[in-house]
Structure 1
Amino acid sequence: MRVSVMLFILLSLSHPAFGAERDYQDLWCNKNQGEVEFRLPDATRVDCLTDTHAVEMDFGRKWAEAIGQSLYYASCTGKRAGVVLIVDKDKDGRYLRRLNEAITYADLPIDVWVMDSKALP
């Protein structure tokens, strides 16, 4: 019993108290009149498809992965690529800088939005 309690405490401390990615998808996509988890013919899913953008949403540490996914989704939908980076604005600035530097360096057609990880009600 002691081991279980200690393990639970350690796991709780090691993971930030953010919501699930899907919670952020629902919030952002609804505000932007998009369709959540739009399914593509190859069974992959765009996190949010709006009239203008195919948007990938990821937590800050997954900034590089978001680039590839958003470009792929844009190529499949004919929409512009977009990334919503979910960050703790006090701690995760480096991820946003990396994302923007990579996009600028490679002149990638990706629009970026930032969502505060504390945005969930």
Structure 2
Amino acid sequence: MNKSRLYSTTTLIFLFFLMQNLHSPAAYASGVGKYESWYQDVWCEGYDGQTEVEQDDGTRVDCLTSNHAIEMEFARKWPEAIGQSLHYSLKTGRNAGIVLILQKPSDEHYWASLNDVIKQYKLPITLWRLGP
């Protein structure tokens, strides 16, 4: 085996193990790097809800509980969550809800912005937060 082939094989093996470790539970203990669906599953199960409930228009409610149609969203996408939660409420006849996922302390300003808009316009949306 020539030296360049050995180097590329070694590099590929290293990259494989690196990718495996990046997806390990220990790497995600802080919540950083998880997909939105992971949060949906965990949070929704805790509130006896159903995840990804499809509506007649093809949209999917992230978590549908007996009282709420909930949009789960990462902090930086808080403006999108407002519209989606209100739409889900309209489609299901349930109260609108947002679970905002804060992955790091610096996401706190997104939580504050979301609360400010909800209060200013008296939007009928229940809020929950996940994270620091």
Q: Report if TM-score (shorter chain) is over 0.5.
A: yes
Aligned partner of 2:108: which letter? Answer: G
Q: 1:91: Cα distance to partner?
A: 1.5
- Identify the match of residue 129 of structure 2 among 89, 100, 114: 114
d(CA) in 1 for partners of 2:104, 2:68:
24
- Identify the match of residue 49 of structure 2 among 34, 49, 53: 34
Q: TM-score normalised to the size of structure 2? A: 0.75
Per the alignment, residue 94 of structure 2 pairs with 79
What is the alpha-carbon root mean square deviation over aligned residues?
1.9
Aligned partner of 1:32: which letter? Answer: Y
Residue 92 of structure 2 is aligned to residue 69 of structure 1: no
- The list of structure 1 runs, each at least 4 consecutive aligned residues, that deviate by more than 3 angstroms after superposition, is none
Gaps of 5+ in 2: 1-7, 16-21, 23-30
d(CA) in 2 for partners of 1:107, 1:33:
27
Q: How many percent of aligned residue pairs carry the same amino acid?
A: 46
Superposed, 1:18-33 pairs within 5 Å as 18-33=33-48
Count of matched residue positions in the alignment of Structure 1 and Structure 2: 107
Q: Which has the higher contact order (CA 8 A, sep 6+)?
A: 1
Secondary structure in 1 matching 2:33: coil
d(CA) in 2 for partners of 1:45, 1:100:
24
Secondary structure in 1 matching 2:96: strand
The structure with more helix, counted as a fraction of residues: 2
d(CA) in 2 for partners of 1:115, 1:45:
21
Secondary structure in 2 matching 1:91: helix
- Identify the match of residue 44 of structure 1 among 59, 74, 78: 59
d(CA) in 2 for partners of 1:76, 1:32:
20
Aligned partner of 2:131: which letter? Answer: D
Q: TM-score normalised to the size of structure 1? A: 0.82
- State the structure with more CA Rg: 2
Aligned partner of 2:98: which letter? Answer: V
- Identify the match of residue 91 of structure 1 among 84, 98, 106: 106
